[in-house]
Amino acid sequence: MTIYTQKPIGLLGGTFDPIHHGHLRLALELYERLELAEVRLIPAASPPHRESPMVSASLRLQMVQAAIQGVTGLTADARELHRPGPSYMVDTLTSFRQDYPQRPLCLILGLDAFTSLPSWHQWERLITLAHLLIVRRIGTLLPEIHQVRDFLAAHQCYDSADLTTQLAGRIWVEDIPPLTISATQIRDLISTGRNPRYLLPATVLEIINTYQLYRQKTALESKSSDLATPSHLD
Ligand code: ATP
C-alpha cells in the first residue's frame, strides 16, 4: 500500500452570498487544527440544492477574494464558475483529483449538509475522491438516519494522521465552536436598511456597498443591481 505524507487540501464549497466571518473562522480553524496545506473556498456557480443566489457568481468570487486577501492558508478557487449546469460537488472533486492525483483532499461539510448527503448527485462517489471533514457544533448529536449513520460508521477515523497517509475514503468529525452568523441574516439586515458591519470583513462590505448588493429581497431585482454603477461607500 502506498503511504502518502503530503498535507491534505481542505475544500470548502458554498454559495458565499455573501462570505462572512462564520465561513472564514471555520476555514481558518480547520487549516490550523488539522494542519492542512490550505483551505480552498469554492463559490458554487449554480448550487443544485437551494434557490438561486442573489448575486452573480463572479461578484461572489470577488467577495471571497477580498475576504481572504493576505491571509495565509486560505485561497479562492474559481473552477465551478467555468463549468456550465448545476455545480455538482462530485464534478468539482473529480476536477481536483485530476489536478492533484497524489494529494489527500478533505471535503469540508457542516453536519446539516452531511445529514442530507444521500440527496446529493452521485453521493457515494464523493468518499472515493476525498476524505469528508464533518464540522459539528459542540453539543450536537451525529445523525440517526440509518443510511448516513451506517456510512459514517464504515468510514469514520479517529487518528487525523489517516487524513494525510491516505488520499480519500475517511471521515473525520471536528467540533468547532459556532459563530451564529449566516448569509441570510446579512442579506436581511441590508434589505431592511440595517448595518451588517462586524459580521463580515470590511473589504466585503465595501464591495456590497459599491455595487448596492442585497438591497432588494429577490434575486431577480438584485441581479440587475449587479450591473449597477458603483456608487455608495460607507
Ligand atoms: P445562507 O444563509 O444563504 O444559507 P450560509 O451563511 O449558510 O448561507 P453557505 O454559503 O451556504 O452560507 O455555507 C457554506 C458552508 O459554510 C456550509 O458548509 C455551511 O455549513 C458553512 N457555514 C455557514 N455559516 C457558518 C457559520 N456561521 N459557522 C460555521 N460554518 C458555517
DSSP labels, 141-178: PPP--HHHHHHHHHHB-S-TTHHHHSSS--EEEEEE--
Task: Decide if pLDDT at 221 tops 60.
Answer: no
Q: What ranges do the domains of the chain cover? A: 9-226
Mean pLDDT estimate for the chain: 90
**Atom from ligand 1 closest to the CA of residue 20:** 6
Burial class (CB in 10 A: 0-12, 13-18, 19+), 98: exposed
Kindly give the distance from the C-alpha atom of residue 11 to the centroid of ligand 1, in angstroms, as a whole number: 14
Of 155, 149, 156, 105, which is closest to residue 129 (Cα–Cα)?
A: 105
Residue range 9-226, CATH number: 3.40.50.620
| pLDDT (0 to 100) of residue 32 | 97
**Atom from ligand 1 closest to the CA of residue 109:** 18
Task: Decide if pLDDT at 5 tops 80.
Answer: no
**Atom from ligand 1 closest to the CA of residue 181:** 27
Query: Which tens digit of pLDDT belongs to each residue from 78-94?
Result: 999 999 889 899 999 99
Kindly give the distance from the C-alpha atom of residue 4 to the centroid of ligand 1, in angstroms, as a whole number: 31
Query: Which tens digit of pLDDT belongs to each residue from 23-44?
Result: 999 999 999 999 999 999 999 9
| pLDDT (0 to 100) of residue 23 | 97
Residue 155 to residue 38: CA distance in whole angstroms: 23
Q: Atom 23, ligand 1: which residue's CA is nearest?
A: 23
**Atom from ligand 1 closest to the CA of residue 176:** 29
The set of cell numbers assigned to 112 is 446539516
Kindly give the distance from the C-alpha atom of residue 162 to the centroid of ligand 1, in angstroms, as a whole number: 27
Choose the weakest-confidence range: 35-44, 47-56, 140-149, 195-204. Answer: 140-149
**Res. 51 pLDDT band, cuts 50 70 90:** confident
